[in-house]
Structure 1
């Protein structure tokens, strides 16, 4: 099958993982363009098509363009309805959209901010107060999510099969396991969340896209520099 288009993104980027996973589950191919931060997104051929110079960015074979990771993943999922990534009726689709939004805003964002401040060092003024704020926000969301997943016999968020919501959540939880959840938290308070992560990322169709989880042994603690 010929690729349906090209994607500018980084393989480690959670949004890129979600887009490529949606394509893989749907039996589609997308060309992932080699990308270098600060170089590729400053090239005229990129900025002319995507003036914000952000990734991920998608262009199909007919010149149709999209930005924003979740939007691209949802579009790709909609191309093959029988794959079931957006559910089987309007209520399931609404639930999937709900969990995608929750996964991005309440699971991924707090952990991503801690990662940016403490690991990647993209936030030079990052403080212990900020870490504590994001940690508390993360823990509240993880508790809610773990309780919900404990009630799900299938292990999936919406129905008895993998959906876009599960993929987006797994991509976000990977960052959680790299920052605020050490082995104790993964095996204890949030065991259902990380069982879900294992279930999704061990799917042979997308396992290669997630790679090694890179989880920390202990939750990150703030060290002033």
Structure 2
């Protein structure tokens, strides 16, 4: 039985990996490109992705909420952390990446002047430095195990590459991305 349907945008890091997360966790999620789905605007009038509708009609939007729902509906909730502290840190890093970091890419991409772009790049670099420093003390964002926030982070860093944002000066991030990319979820990813 299908767990639900995820409407996503193929180029958006916030949504393009959630079907693979469901697959990895043993939940069958049908992925649909929102722009190609005639029923999407009727079900989700704001037309924002990701958007999820479960097989019983439960609707949910926002990447973090959908990931939380998928993880906690699976038989492997430990992918978000084993302890309450790990879980809190997992969702903290996920939130930070999806709010602060993804928005900065948009600020670079949509900058109208060179000054706006330079300011956005400067802010992006401060955030990259923050993450790089974190990874000098931890193997992954929360500790020694790949969690949901790390899987999302890998999608985020692929988006940076897509938009030609160079993060090669941040060696801890580069090493981290290459290690996370070996997680089994990425061998199954159809939507990244």
TM-score category, normalised to shorter length: 0.7 to 0.9
Separation of aligned partners in 2, 1:199 and 1:28: 25
Match of 1:4 in 2: 3
Change in 2 beyond 3 A, CA 1:193/1:10: same
Which deviates further from its counterpart, 59-68 or 5-14? 5-14
**Structure 1, unaligned stretches of length 5 or more?**
118-122, 213-225
Identify which of structures 1 and 2 has the higher relative contact order when contacts are C-alpha pairs closer than 8 Å and 6+ apart: 2
Report deviation, 1:72: 0.7
Helix, strand or coil at the partner of 1:16: coil
Q: Which of structure 1's runs of 4+ aligned residues deviate more than 3 A?
A: 178-182
User: Is 1:127 aligned to residue 113 of structure 2?
Assistant: yes
Residues 111 and 180, structure 1, Cα contact 8 Å, conserved in 2: no
**Structure 2, unaligned stretches of length 5 or more?**
none
User: Is 1:87 aligned to residue 81 of structure 2?
Assistant: yes
Report deviation, 1:137: 0.6
How do residues 63-102 of structure 1 correspond to structure 2 at under 5 angstroms? 63-80=57-74, 82-102=76-96
Match of 2:32 in 1: 33
When normalised by structure 1's length, the TM-score is 0.76
Residues 25 and 206, structure 1, Cα contact 8 Å, conserved in 2: no
Separation of aligned partners in 2, 1:86 and 1:4: 19
Instruction: Please provide the CA RMSD for this pair.
Output: 2.3
Residues 6 and 30, structure 1, Cα contact 8 Å, conserved in 2: yes
Larger gyration radius, structure 1 or structure 2: 1
Which deviates further from its counterpart, 81-90 or 51-60? 81-90
Match of 2:123 in 1: 137
